[in-house]
Copies of this chain bind each other. A is one copy, B any other.
């Protein structure tokens, strides 16, 4: 793509039209700053895929221009791609607040990348210069993880503000309100564009304070008779803090289960974000010695993930904890879209164990970390940007954000709705989409990065629907006659025992097909295979209305 390198451009490599794998590229002349490097969890149709990251091609092609990676906060959709990015740019300097980089560091340790990584901890009012043209100033925002920030990106073309993931919490758990003064000042300056978190653009009003969750948790603790199990997002340290405080208030000890919960509690305590009085935390092996009404179990699994601690407990498959009649389970989370059925299933199992389960959103044990419509309006009114760029939302959310912008006087032509890979260029303060760079999803399956694509996924889908029949036949090199087979082996198709007759007939169909082919044609393996596929596929569809994958294999002796 040829474009005017003198201009300021913004290129989302992920995080628009989706909630996940946030990654924005800011470019001016020969300098690039990258903001966030997230991952996304796979959609249902991405069978067998573990995680999804952005296509880094544009960055790899412009490797020498990259001055740094700035991270807004420590959620997976903002940091989960860092190890994969560092595989291409091992010496890339990374900037972020203490907890954010604490979580990044933990991730890099797991990937054995800690040695070479250049992590630069900044505080949430820091200004850093990247290259000759970029000055980045952090500002504190409230979100469902501590130490979250937005960014003021100063460039020769003007100021860009990136909201980060934010809500305006007037009574945050750690007492740190948003720096309204800083945002209000921006309103008097030349802010050419505001990138805004669109997640809750469909929700009227404001999002409740995280502190309201503390009140609801207290309430639930007050009426609990036996043990209390609280499941929530591990990274929501403010919520963990409130659980700890409720535990102290009601004289209960706390034990932590689930790998990510154990990790985050440890990191957050070490770095001073989670404050636990001495003697409150106890080892999981200690809890059997305590009476039920002195115990809190803090657990992963609020999304009903089948392998999580809570699901295992609910199924009676956890090594250390079983859910007992009289226990109280607090699900301090709402299901992420797609997880509704898993969560319902877990709740049902917990009830069957005899537990009392607090789970409805009306019970107040969860609030969102993203601002609703009135907060989005306030953000725009504070910053007074010339353009608004909706980010961090599916299409309908980003679209709703443009309606909201209109309500505060930012007309439609000043709302820039981007797709992944779009390049928006700013010239004399005006931005417009001028091109596209290579971009898309890269699928990660086990150790493989990008080695699973559409053909493999299509095959997995086919295999998952009706299974496979492998048809093997050994032919003579001399005259093409059948020396052995056809043998048919099926998997995922039918119960073999109950369908012996069907498979026998299938075998006969293949044998007939082979015997009908002229000997001279048997050397044309591709037409042998096509004939077998067609005749067998037709037979099976007629008999079963199924279309298993048919895989003919010819051996030659």
Contact = CB atoms under 8 A, between A and B. Distances in A.
A286 interface: no
Interface string A133-171: 000000000000000000000000000000000000000
A445 B466 contact: yes
A356 B491 CA distance: 47
Contacts of A277: none
- Chain A binding surface, main DSSP class: mixed
Contacts of A464: 47-48, 460-461, 463-464
Contacts of A459: 467, 491-492
A47 B17 CA distance: 29
A551 interface: yes
B341 A43 contact: yes
Given A47-B465, A446-B546, A451-B498, A555 B460 contact: no
Interface in A494-511: 494-495, 498-499
Given A396-B348, A455-B495, A494-B451, A48 B466 contact: yes
Nearest to A446: B545
A47 B468 CA distance: 13
Given A499-B451, A543-B447, A472 B553 contact: yes
Nearest to A448: B544
Q: Taking the full assembly, how many copies of this chain does it contain?
A: 2
Interface residues of A, number: 66
A202 interface: yes
B472 A399 contact: no
Nearest to A549: B491
A126 interface: no
Contacts of A485: 555
Contact of A474 (B453, B543, B555): B555
Nearest to A17: B348
Interface in A410-455: 445-448, 451-453, 455
B340 A492 contact: no
A177 B457 CA distance: 52
A470 interface: yes
Contacts of A215: none
Interface in A260-276: none
A294 interface: no
A434 to B, nearest CB: 21
A452 B498 CA distance: 10
Contacts of A357: 396
A338 interface: yes
A406 interface: no
A467 B499 CA distance: 24
B394 A456 contact: no
Contact of A347 (B396, B460, B545, B546): B396
Contacts of A291: none
A389 to B, nearest CB: 17
A305 interface: no
A404 to B, nearest CB: 15
A279 interface: no
Given A460-B463, A551-B470, A495 B344 contact: no
A446 to B, nearest CB: 3
Nearest to A445: B546
A34 to B, nearest CB: 27
A491 B467 contact: no
Contact of A555 (B17, B487, B549): B487
A175 interface: no
A91 B356 CA distance: 48
A103 to B, nearest CB: 23
Nearest to A48: B465
A428 B44 CA distance: 53
B340 A460 contact: no
A452 B495 contact: yes
29 contacts: A44-B341, A48-B466, A202-B360, A337-B340, A338-B341, A344-B394, A351-B399, A352-B395, A445-B544, A446-B466, A446-B544, A446-B546, A447-B544, A447-B546, A451-B494, A451-B498, A456-B467, A456-B494, A459-B467, A460-B464, A461-B464, A463-B468, A463-B491, A463-B492, A464-B464, A468-B468, A470-B553, A474-B474, A484-B556
The 5 closest A-B pairs by CB, nearest first: A446-B545, A464-B464, A463-B463, A459-B492, A348-B395
